Amino acid sequence: MTDASALPGQPRGQVLSGPATERAVNVLAPNASAMTLDGTNTWIVAEPGSEAAVVIDPGPLDDGHLATVVDMAEKAGKRIALTLLTHGHPDHAAGAARFAELTGTRVRALDPALRLGDEGLAAGDVITVGGLELRVVPTPGHTADSLCFHLPADRAVLTGDTILGRGTTVVAHPDGRLGDYLDSLRRLRSLTVDDGVHTVLPGHGPVLEDAQGAVEFYLAHRAHRLAQVETAVEDGYRSPAEVVAHVYADVDRSLWPAAELSVRAQLDYLSEHGLIQPM
């Protein structure tokens, strides 16, 4: 059995519903799959002693899960005052409108199409609810609308799909772009170096205790895959499907369609930087 402390980011262990930090509680959605890992982590975040809470990523449109989120907040003496989205993929956001009905909350997101209410989210926004402070960190790359939320009081960052608790994420081409994603990882690295962030509260998978180690692993992994894709093209593998079969031969074939999205993003990046001929 592998020691979790030796794994990238030092994952905490089994993914469970319950407290993760002093201010953040996870409610695990029942939508486990190869792509969603154990399921979507819906986060309830609140300042200790406050009656107001923020929910980040209500998750899929599953009335049972949404009711559980409300129930867990109420049992902790919290009223859900605001809903936030890290991005618009259905496993994070499909339940947001229904959740807003259940709680009477606004939904704030970067993408105007996902918002319920007048306020969106933008780089540099600071959200304060019941004494809680969350800082909006733009992290495009997985998708164009991806955001993270810095929780300074817990020295933590809620990362959606930008960093997962296990494995690596997909650059969802064409909406996601590799150059943007690399910039976003560097932005998160600066949070670990300059702002003391040490905990990753991901959208899927376990909590990570070593945020800087996780970011460094992701950057190294992307550099390695990019070099593999460039070499594959030089060796005559031309189509994205051919590159996937060659480079991702060690990956479960059920994940190849997702891997092809990342490969397309990598091919675009290499072409834009003049490292390969446009395909």
Just list the catalytic residues: 91
Q: In what order do the strands lie in the sheet with 147-151?
A: 126-129, 132-138, 147-151, 156-160, 199-202
Q: Rg (Cα) of the chain, in Å, rounded?
A: 19
> How far is Cα 215 from Cα 200, in angstroms, rounded to an integer?
10
> How far is Cα 156 from Cα 38, in angstroms, rounded to an integer?
21
> How far is Cα 236 from Cα 177, in angstroms, rounded to an integer?
24
CB neighbours of 257 closer than 8 A, spacing ≥ 6? none
CA angle 113, 215, 30 (to 5 degrees): 55
Name the residue with tokens 């449109």. Answer: 61
